[in-house]
């Protein structure tokens, strides 16, 4: 008769999975293995406008492009890699470089003529306004 204490019930496949996961975490540190999207964005809406904020350290203003089409905002650009002095070798290199693109699905149509963008101290702030014809209107109810 088999009991829970018998060898049949002692094998724990989850212990093997845990051992494999620990080995993978040692081989691939969390900062490298965890995919992150660059640039990080915050999006919120207030009344009839949407605000988007994005941190773009090391990106030049001329290397940023913002487009709006069909309720989708696309933020793209390039962060150029710094040049190491001649003869120097990288010891640690965690920051990503190269071209990037982020798309944000907007909760409603926006007026592309009323998009405002500011870039200061490596932070991009974009304000997108809802067109007047798309704003909800309160309908007055008349007494019969």
Domains of the chain: 36-82+97-134 (2.60.40.790)
What rounded mean pLDDT belongs to the chain? 84
Does the pLDDT of residue 96 top 70, yes or no?
yes
Q: Report DSSP letters for the chain, one per residue.
A: ---TTSGGGT--HHHHHHHHHHHHHHHS-HHHHS---SS-EEEEEETTEEEEEEE-TT--GGGEEEEEETTEEEEEEEEPPPPPPTT---S---S--EEEEEEEE-SS---GGG-EEEEETTEEEEEEE--GGGS--PPPPPP-
**pTM of structure:** 0.66
Q: How confident is the model at residue 8 (pLDDT cuts 50, 70, 90)?
A: low
pLDDT value, residue 132: 80
Query: Does the pLDDT at position 7 exceed 70?
Result: no
Distance CA 128, CA 50 (A): 5
pLDDT exceeds cutoff 50 at 75 = yes
Residues 111-133: tens digit of each pLDDT: 888 899 999 999 999 999 988 87
More confident residue, 137 or 142: 142
């Amino acid at each position: 008769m088999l009991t829970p204490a018998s060898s049949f019930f002692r094998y724990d496949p989850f212990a093997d999975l845990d051992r494999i996961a620990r080995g993978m975490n040692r081989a691939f540190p969390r900062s490298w293995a965890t995919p992150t999207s660059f640039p990080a964005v915050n999006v919120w809406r207030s009344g009839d406008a949407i605000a988007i904020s994005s941190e773009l350290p090391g990106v030049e203003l001329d290397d940023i492009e913002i487009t709006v089409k069909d309720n989708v905002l696309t933020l793209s650009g390039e962060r150029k890699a710094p040049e190491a002095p001649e003869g120097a070798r990288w010891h640690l290199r965690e920051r990503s470089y190269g071209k990037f693109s982020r798309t944000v699905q907007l909760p409603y149509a926006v007026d592309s003529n009323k998009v405002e963008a500011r870039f200061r101290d490596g932070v991009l702030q974009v304000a997108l306004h809802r067109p007047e014809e798309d704003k909800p209107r309160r309908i007055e109810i008349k007494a019969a």
